[in-house]
């Protein structure tokens, strides 16, 4: 009985660790620049998300990939469970753009601060990412 209980606890802890520690280990050995995740593209975007997409395509997609699917060896996908609103709220997007990001979730290195965007621009970009996330059941 005790053995079964121990095995069960180890299993549960394993599952929890597996879900809370998405460290991108699946990206080792992949060719540089290739997408990290596959996403479904919404057929429609809100007006603000469409504006955000333009900002994203000029300022973010060079690293985070088209449709925020990430680029192997460059930067993580933003359409990913760790960037869901409860874990990385909208303010973390503002902070990332204004001050850059020290590498902490992945092994891509730091994100530099991004020039030439107002808070309103970043809000639209964030809304675009959120709509992509929601469409892919990340919320």
Binding footprint of ligand HEC on the chain (CB under 6 A) = 59-60, 62-64, 75-76, 88, 92-93, 96-97, 101, 103-106, 108-109, 111-112, 114, 117, 125
- Are 68 and 78 a contacting pair, CB within 8 Å? yes
- From the CB of 18, what's the least distance to ligand HEC, in Å? 19
Smaller CB distance to ligand HEC: residue 15 or 91? 91
- From the CB of 108, what's the least distance to ligand HEC, in Å? 4
List 111's β-bridge partners, or say none: 101
* Structure-token match 């973010």, residue found: 60
- From the CB of 5, what's the least distance to ligand HEC, in Å? 37
CA pair distance 126, 37, nearest whole angstrom: 19
Among 135, 111, 137, 139, CA closest to 43: 135
Smaller CB distance to ligand HEC: residue 3 or 28? 28
């Amino acid at each position: 009985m005790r053995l079964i209980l121990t095995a069960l606890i180890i299993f549960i802890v394993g599952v929890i660790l597996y879900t809370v520690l998405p460290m991108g280990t699946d990206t080792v050995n992949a060719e540089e620049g290739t997408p990290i995740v596959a996403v479904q593209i919404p057929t429609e975007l809100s007006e603000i998300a469409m504006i955000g997409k333009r900002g994203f395509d000029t300022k973010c997609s060079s690293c985070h990939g088209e449709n925020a699917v990430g680029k192997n060896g460059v930067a993580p996908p933003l359409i990913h469970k760790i960037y869901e609103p409860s874990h990385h709220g909208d303010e973390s997007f503002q902070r990332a753009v204004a001050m850059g990001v020290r590498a902490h979730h992945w092994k891509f290195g730091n994100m530099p601060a991004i020039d030439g965007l107002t808070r309103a621009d970043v809000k639209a970009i964030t809304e675009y990412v959120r709509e992509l996330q929601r469409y892919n059941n990340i919320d």
